[in-house]
Structure 1
Amino acid sequence: MRFKLTLRPYTPYQKLTLNYNHPFSSWIYSRIKEADAEYATFLHQKGYKMSDSTKNFKHFTFSKFDIPHKAKPIEKGEDFILLSDRPIYITVSFFIDKAAEDFIVGLFKNQRIGIYNRKYQADFLIESVESLSAPLGNTTRLQYKAASPMVIAEKRADGNDDYLHPTDPRFARYFALNLLSKYESVYGKGITMDDSTLEKLINFKLTDTNKMRSKLISIKQNREEETKIKGYENFVFELNAPSKIVEVGFYGGFGKFTSSAGMGYCDIL
């Protein structure tokens, strides 16, 4: 399910860090912990965990902030957004049952949120939480736009990630492997399949790269060593896969770093 949050700045002329992804994700986790300790324990320690893997998927992601009225345009070299006193908006997307809708609305409504790093802090009141209608239905073949950076990577021999460009021949395979792992973490592991079978089950097709751009996101910003991840946004792709598999990726995010940095949030075209 998806929820549109309306955030009202407490004061005008606050500076919002451009790298707000990880701080916002951290606030979501802290709010869950305050609201429901049992749910937080499940989300942090268990998540949807595969029985034979150390992977731990936390199935939520979020859009970029929609800021219609900035106090001034962002100038070259600046690493913050100067806010006015007008509301800003963000959509949070959870792979959850509809029965949890009231819990999520209560989790966010009328809450105070602070988004900060070592340099800047911006404080907001969440004025409203709007549940958005489910657009997927039972359709298996749809086109999507990567509205936030999508991170698809191959693990190198040294243990680090090799971040893949959407035109890379490996991209579709690792997109499918990641999505299948997320599905299996929810519904249980199925049969082992070769690349050809995987491609037939989860078929990714890149259709438009005219406005595509790369983006570096910093996570763990308040530690001595920052971690930077690289994703690509504003590209269009077609995905043909069983509806239950698509739902896990659409609501929980496609690719890596979905809950920790809001990556892989996509809109249906």
Structure 2
Amino acid sequence: MRFILTLRPFTDKQLLIFNYQYPFMAWVYGRLNEADQQYAEFLHQKGYQVHHSLKNFKHFTFSNFQITRLAQPIKSGDSYMKLSDEPIKVLVSFYIDKAAEDFIVGLFRNQTVNIYDNTYRASFNIERIESLPNENFDNQTVTLQTISPIVVARKKTDGKDEYLSPEDPEFATYFAYNLMEKYNSVNPNAMKVDVETAARLVKFHLLKKDKLKSRLVAIKQDKASETKVRAFTNFSFEVSAPAEVLEVGFFGGFGKHSANGFGCCEVVGK
């Protein structure tokens, strides 16, 4: 399921930190926690378990904040945006059973969103929730445009992640492997696949890339445990895969760290 949240700032000239993804993700977990402690604990600590693996995934994602106007231009050295009083929109997406859709939407109605770090804070009322029609993936080849950055990585010999650009020849392979692992995490009886098999099942083809950008993003707010990942955005791509595999990526996010606001895309062609 997918829906658009319209966030109305409490006042103008509030300071919104650039790294709003992590506190927004934490706020989503907070709403789940208030509504259903057991569900939130499962989602936060366990996620959907990949068969024969210790990896887990949390199957939701969200887009970049859609900000139409700032109160003042961003200056060099700023770590925040000074907002106007105009509303901000964000697309939130869950890979979830249809029976739970009304429950999820209900968590966001008439709520306040606070996004802050140790220095800056911005507060919003949720003014509107607009449910989006579900995409039909009978066509197993789709063209997608990023509306949040995507993180794809391969493990180096020292166990650390090496983040890949969509222009890297190995990006398609690890994009495919991550997507198949996510699919297996919600289908525990599915056949376990290796990297090569995943690349045969899922085909990635980079399309428009003239505005391709990368940035380092912190996915934890606590400086003592802060982790930064390199993410890539502003590109479109074609992906071919079984329909049920595409659904997992489309609704739950493509690539790594989706719950932190990565891997959210919109369909621009089939």
Q: TM-score, normalised by structure 1?
A: 0.95
Q: SS of 2:99's equivalent?
A: helix
Distance 1:77 1:136, change over 3 A: farther
Partner Cα distance (1:189, 1:177) in 2: 17
2:150 and 2:262 in contact (8 A); partners too = yes
Gaps of 5+ in 2: none
Distance 1:172 1:137, change over 3 A: closer
1:50 and 1:189 in contact (8 A); partners too = no
Counterpart position of 2:110: 110
Q: SS of 1:165's equivalent?
A: coil
User: Is residue 2:187 matched to residue 1:187?
Assistant: yes
User: Is residue 2:47 matched to residue 1:47?
Assistant: yes
Counterpart position of 2:201: 201
Deviation string for 1:9-62 (max 9, x for gaps)?
112211000110111001101110011112112212332102411111100000
Partner Cα distance (1:14, 1:68) in 2: 15
Counterpart position of 1:26: 26
Partner Cα distance (1:193, 1:39) in 2: 29
RMSD: 1.5
Letter of the 1:175 counterpart: F
Counterpart position of 1:262: 261
Counterpart position of 2:168: 168
Partner Cα distance (1:199, 1:51) in 2: 19
Partner Cα distance (1:96, 1:217) in 2: 27
Counterpart position of 2:134: 134
Counterpart position of 2:85: 85
Partner Cα distance (1:6, 1:21) in 2: 16
Partner Cα distance (2:100, 2:253) in 1: 18
Deviation string for 1:101-127 (max 9, x for gaps)?
211111011111100112211011111
Letter of the 2:116 counterpart: Y
Partner Cα distance (2:194, 2:158) in 1: 25
Partner Cα distance (2:136, 2:75) in 1: 39
Q: How far off is 1:196 after superposition?
A: 5.2
Partner Cα distance (2:211, 2:261) in 1: 20
1:118 and 1:222 in contact (8 A); partners too = no
Written as runs of structure 1 = structure 2, the 5 A alignment for 1:142-157 is 142-157=142-157
Gaps of 5+ in 1: none
Partner Cα distance (1:182, 1:78) in 2: 37
- Aligned identity (percent) is 50
Counterpart position of 2:71: 71
2:111 and 2:126 in contact (8 A); partners too = yes
